[in-house]
Amino acid sequence: MGLRLVEPTARRDSFWLAHMRRLNILPEGYIYPKEERPVRDLLRRRLLFVKHRTAHILSLQSMVSRNIGTNMSCYAIKILEQEAAETLFESPYLVLAAKSNIAVIHFLKERIKLIEKAVKSHITLREEFKYLLTVPGIGDILALTIMLEVGDINHFPKVGDYSSYCRCVKSERFSNGKKKDENNRKNGNRYLSWAYVEAANFAIRYCPHAQAFYQRKMAKSNGIVAIKALGSKLARASYYIMRDQVAYDTSKLFS
């Protein structure tokens, strides 16, 4: 049986890359500035701490509901001191569990504030990102998070490219009304996805138009889909705000 010589993979890849380069269709990657990477990574660590704090808050909230039969708001859980656990529960084991949750919540709160203070003292919003502060639900930390994750908004030629990078659009492909395939759901930037979901949660508290949009979507589906839909709208609005350096206009977003 004779041996078949196969062209080396590297040679084929080089030919294909040279061909795309000649046609000027070779996609180029974006190298994030080295000096800003540590600050970006620090804000990502803040996100991790926020998630852990939320998990402990929900855990304690669930324990109170199961054992006492009353509901405590997240804000009430946040301001609890460890001594309050002794008045909430009779069992010493539940008291110890509650004290542990409360201690971790307070510790993470201090770490989060420390990170926010360090980031704000080191970096400020660039001119094209300052207008993000006019968007309902986006404050200083979320605006800094978006700025450090985006880098340069000009890397996204269209608003759809930016929405896709923020994981705000579906990755499904349809043909004749039938689902044929689905791309990788993890494509894009998960930190930007989280940032716009957070912005949407804040927006429905303080913006009547955002709340009305959320209520309409929730009536047709559920709360999670409604929050993602609002986050998608905020992401699209943010793209034009950053690209054109204009302030947020409610009438254009919720016409």
- What long-range pairs does 137-141 form, CB within 8 A, spacing at least 24? 137/198, 137/199, 137/200, 137/201, 137/202, 137/203, 137/206, 137/207, 137/210, 137/234, 138/199, 138/202, 138/234, 138/238, 139/202, 141/43, 141/46, 141/116
What pLDDT is attached to residue 36? 85
Per-residue pLDDT of the chain (255 residues; tens, 9 = 90+): 455 544 567 888 888 888 888 888 877 777 777 888 899 999 999 999 999 999 999 999 999 999 988 888 989 999 999 999 999 998 999 999 999 999 999 999 999 999 999 999 888 888 889 999 999 999 999 999 999 999 888 888 899 889 988 988 876 666 666 665 566 566 788 999 999 999 999 999 988 999 999 999 999 989 899 999 999 999 999 999 999 999 998 888 887
What is the average pLDDT value for the chain, to the nearest integer?
A: 87
The 10 Å CB-count burial string (b at 16+, else e) for 221-241 is eeeeebbbbbbbbbbbbbbbb
Query: Which residues, including other chains, have CB under 8 Å from residue 31's CB and lie 6 or more apart?
Result: none
CB 206 within 8 A of CB 137: yes
Enumerate the domain spans of the chain: 34-123, 125-173+187-255
What pLDDT is attached to residue 45? 95
